[in-house]
Amino acid sequence: MKTDWFEYDGLRIRYTQRKGRGDSLPLLMFNGVGQSLEVLGPLVDVLPDKTVIAFDVPGAGLSDIPSRPWRYRQHAQLAIHLVRHLGYEQVNVFGVSWGGGLAQQFTRQYPLAVSKLILAASPPGNLMVPGSPGVYLRMANPRRFWDNDYMASVAGHIYGGDVRQDDSAVRQLISLLRPPSRKGYAFQTLAMYGWTGLHFLCRLAQPTLILQGSDDPMVPNINARLMAFLIPDSRLEFIDCGHLFMLTRLQQVSALILEFGYD
C-alpha cells in the first residue's frame, strides 16, 4: 500500500488512502493493538472497488509516539482530523480487536460522521466476559512481536481457531507486521484501560455488522452476543475460526462486508 504522512498535535502520522472505483463512502479502518497498517493489506486488496483509509495509530507502525498515553477519545480525535484532512464528511467504519473498541468510541464521539459500523473480533472494553488469564498474560508480552519462536509457541493459545494446528496465518502476520516499540505498545494497551462501550452501545443508531470467530480465546463469544443484543440495528455473524479470521477466512470476511454494503 502507498503511504503518506499527516501531522497532528505535533506528531507525524503515517496513513494510506486507497482510492476505489465506486462513489460509495470510504471505509475507515482501525487496526489491532501493536499492528501496523500493512496487516490490513490483504483485506484492502479484496475490496478493490472501495475507497479505504487506514493509519498507524501513535506508537504503532511508523507513526510517532506521543509523550504520554492517549485515551481512545484522543485517538478518535486524530481519526476525525485525518478524515476531514482527506476531504470527507462521512465514512463507514471498520475496527478489528483493539481497533474495534476505537471504532465504537469514534462512532459514539462523531455519530454524524459514521454511516455504517463493522466490528471484527472486538471486545466491548474492560467490562467484558474475559477468557483465560493465561491468554492475556501471553498476549501482553510484547516479545511476540520480535521473537518469532516465542510467537509460534504462544499463537495457538492466544489466537485459537486454525492457528492451533497451522501457524501459516501467524507467519503471514509476522511477514506483514512492522513491530511496535515497547513504549508504543504499552501506550496502546493503556488506551483501553478503564474503558467500556457497554453503557452507550444501546444508543448507536448506525447499522452494525459484528464478526466473531467461533473459537476466539481473547474475546469469548458471549461478548459478541452481548454487543449484538445492545446495538439496536446489528447483525452478528460467526466465522469458524479464531481471533485471526481476518487472515484465515479472508474471502468469507470480504464477502460478508460487501454483502453488508456501503452507502
Q: CB neighbours of 87 closer than 8 A, spacing ≥ 6?
A: none
The closest alpha carbon to 101, from 33, 38, 160, 54, belongs to 33
The closest alpha carbon to 29, from 68, 1, 8, 9, belongs to 1
According to DSSP, the residues that pair with 13 across neighbouring strands are 6
Q: Is 97 a catalytic residue?
A: yes
> Domains in the chain, start-ordered, CATH in brackets?
4-130+180-260 (3.40.50.1820)
Alpha-carbon distance of 167 to 150, in angstroms, equals: 12
Express each pLDDT in 48-92 by its tens digit: 889 999 999 999 999 999 999 999 999 999 999 999 999 999 999
- List the catalytic residue out of 24, 36, 63, 97: 97
Mean pLDDT estimate for the chain: 95
Counting Cβ atoms within 10 Å, is residue 39 exposed (0-12), middle (13-18) or buried (19+)? buried
Express each pLDDT in 225-249 by its tens digit: 999 999 999 999 999 999 999 999 9
* Residue 262: pLDDT over 70: no
